[in-house]
Structure 1
Amino acid sequence: MHLIRLHSSDEQFHCHSGLSLLDGMKSLARKGIPVGCRGGGCGICRVQVLQGNYQCKRMSREQVSELEQQTGIALACRIYPKSDLDVTFLGLKNSKKNGNTQ
């Protein structure tokens, strides 16, 4: 079991390696990361891992680019912790329609 620290909400919880970060948080009735599609497509649970090791499963490149993923950005529903993690919540990418391509 790994300790997950959410810097954006000052919450922490424990998560098994076999559970996604989002499922681990939900199972403990935590609310630090919003829940969306749970399949790596909607981007609502977008986070950045600041420290720690994890496995990241496939997710929408529209929500997280390869470059962003290299900087620790991923969707919480697709992150499986391999060690304790320090994470900050980012939320949805700004819409390209608004001229912002974050």
Structure 2
Amino acid sequence: MHTVEIAGSGRRYACAPGQNLLRAMEVLGQRGIPAGCRGGGCGVCKVRIEAGQYHVGKMSRACLTEAEQRAGLVLACKTYPDSDIRLRPVALLQRCLERHAGRRESA
């Protein structure tokens, strides 16, 4: 098992090597990465990998350009850890985390 850290949120979860980053989070009932089609075609789960080794499956170039991928952006639904991972929210994910944090503070 590898540990996935969502940078800036204090959240961590376990992910098996053969499991994609998004599915591992969902199986554990965690929140943090927004989900759309779960098949690499919508781009909703785009994140930036800051640290760690990983490999990716086929992703739509309409959602993730080669330049974005070289810059460390990936789709969580098509990314598999080879080591512990630290990922950084992109704009949509950052808003989701901030909204969820606000709910916890008001509870």
Which category describes the TM-score, using the shorter chain as reference length? Answer: 0.7 to 0.9
| Amino acid paired to 2:65 | S
Maintained 8 Å contact 1:45/1:91: no
The answer to whether the aligner puts 1:41 opposite 2:11 as a matched pair is no
Checking the alignment, whether the CA contact within 8 Å between 1:47 and 1:91 is kept in structure 2 is: no
Structure 1 match to 2:81: 81
RMSD, aligned α-carbons: 1.1
Compute the displacement of 1:34 (Å).
1.0
Gaps in structure 1 of 5+ consecutive residues: 93-102
Matched, 1:4 2:4: yes
Residue 91 (structure 1) shift: 5.0
Moved over 4 A (4+): none
Tell me how far apart the structure 1 counterparts of residues 41 and 59 of structure 2 sit (CA, whole Å): 6
Higher-helix-fraction structure? 2
Find the residue that maps to 1:40 and give its secondary structure: coil
Alpha-carbon distance change, 22 to 91 in structure 1, aligned in 2, over 3 angstroms: farther
Whether 1:90 and 2:90 are equivalent positions in the alignment is: yes
1:19 aligns to what?
Answer: 19
Please name the residue that 1:31 is paired with.
Answer: 31
In structure 2, the gaps of 5 or more residues are 93-107
Q: 1:56 to 1:91 in 2, by over 3 A?
A: farther
Q: Percent identity?
A: 42
Quote the offset at 1:24 in angstroms.
Answer: 0.4
| TM-score, scaled to structure 2 | 0.82
Residues 2 and 83, structure 1, Cα contact 8 Å, conserved in 2:
yes
Contact 1:15 1:24 in 2 (8 A): yes
